[in-house]
Amino acid sequence: MERVLVTGAGGYIGTTLVPMLLEAGYQVRAIDRFFFGNDLLPDHPRLEKIKADSRQLGADHFRNVDHVIDLVAISNDPSGELFQEATYEINHESRVACARLAKMAGVKRYVLPSSCSIYGFQEPSVVCDETFKTNPLTTYAKANELAEHGVFPLADDDFCVVVLRQATVYGYSPRMRFDLAINGMTYGAWKTGTLPLMRDGTQWRPMVHVRDTARAQMFMLAAPVDKVNGQLFNVGSDANNYQLGPLAETIAGAVPKDVKVEWYGDADHRSYRVKFDKIEALGWKAEKTAVDGVNEIVERLENGTLDRTTRTITLDWYQELIRWQKIVHEAELGGAMLNLADGQAGRKTG
């Protein structure tokens, strides 16, 4: 039975991917700081959950591992700008270090889930394939590109390296993210009847459903080595290459409510259309549409099993954790709060 080590396993993609790997019969070693909670992965006899920082992994973590899917990241542009140093350390340096450790430990395959945001801004007439010159505009995109450059040279006959440039992901996942375009627009439309659309709506953005991108990652664990080793693949589909304005109209039409579209924010400078022929030629194809994602999110919102909380907005949650870290640090004594810590009991007075 093959073992897959997944970093960032407690995240949006990880909490969808890990159950799919288990269902496919893999053993899974899930590594995460669990910033979004440690209760989002199932208990399973073939799942090991390890709380560790990706910047501190060692050879032991890779023992008896066949494949690595290296999801770990500070995962969006606003968080990347606020936490620049950590973003380079985690998204770039820790992932290159992870690939090196994997190679030294005899791991067979290493998959780096990168991002189409590396294409940044392109003229609307351009449809980027994997050979296209990149244009990363943000710290997040730059760190991803550095990770790509760092892991490719490690590929050889014994160590298969695959990089996946994922489109913007959507759909329900146990670690839900409403800071992603389709998910956020769906929530606004459903909750208030006002769909928030980032100016000016002409920008192009490819999308991919979270289960589809997880399937692409799993696909790469079994694809013929000679077809994927040292290769880069865009992950998405032409049908899901959207301009945000028309996409907003599609989402508004799928939400069971009267919905009006409202602009927000400054003009979005990111705009890119992407080609997905290369991965499709290997036999992988996206199955879901934006409307599938909207429907599953609305169903959960309606039946009360999903809500937009601070924890579902990546940047807000990281800021919340930092705020509470300070509050807890100031209030605790010897690691304890209302009770006294061990060893302090003897010093009780009166």
Which positions lie near ligand NAD, rule CB under 6 A?
8, 10-14, 32-36, 53-55, 71-73, 75, 90, 113, 115, 166, 168-169, 175, 177, 180, 314
**Smallest separation, CB 319 to ligand NAD (Å):** 14
**Smallest separation, CB 34 to ligand NAD (Å):** 6
Contact 214, 6 (CB under 8 A): no
Taking the least distance from each CB to ligand NAD, the nearer of 33 and 100 is 33
> What does the radius of gyration of the chain's CA atoms come to, in whole angstroms?
21
Name 234's bridge partners. Answer: 165
**Spatial CB neighbours of 304, under 8 Å, sequence gap ≥ 6:** none
**Spatial CB neighbours of 169, under 8 Å, sequence gap ≥ 6:** 12, 13, 177, 180, 207, 208, 209, 210, 213
Taking the least distance from each CB to ligand NAD, the nearer of 3 and 49 is 49
Taking the least distance from each CB to ligand NAD, the nearer of 292 and 340 is 292
Cα separation, 128 vs 130, whole angstroms: 7
Taking the least distance from each CB to ligand NAD, the nearer of 72 and 96 is 72
**Smallest separation, CB 65 to ligand NAD (Å):** 16
Taking the least distance from each CB to ligand NAD, the nearer of 35 and 225 is 35
Cα separation, 168 vs 113, whole angstroms: 12
Cα separation, 207 vs 181, whole angstroms: 9
Cα separation, 247 vs 78, whole angstroms: 22
Taking the mean position of all CA atoms in its chain, how far away is CA 40?
15
| 3-class SS of residue 28 | strand
CA distances from 247 to 79, 195, 201, 204 (A): 25, 11, 9, 10
Contact 117, 77 (CB under 8 A): yes
Taking the least distance from each CB to ligand NAD, the nearer of 226 and 291 is 291
Taking the least distance from each CB to ligand NAD, the nearer of 122 and 166 is 166
Name 51's bridge partners. Answer: 32
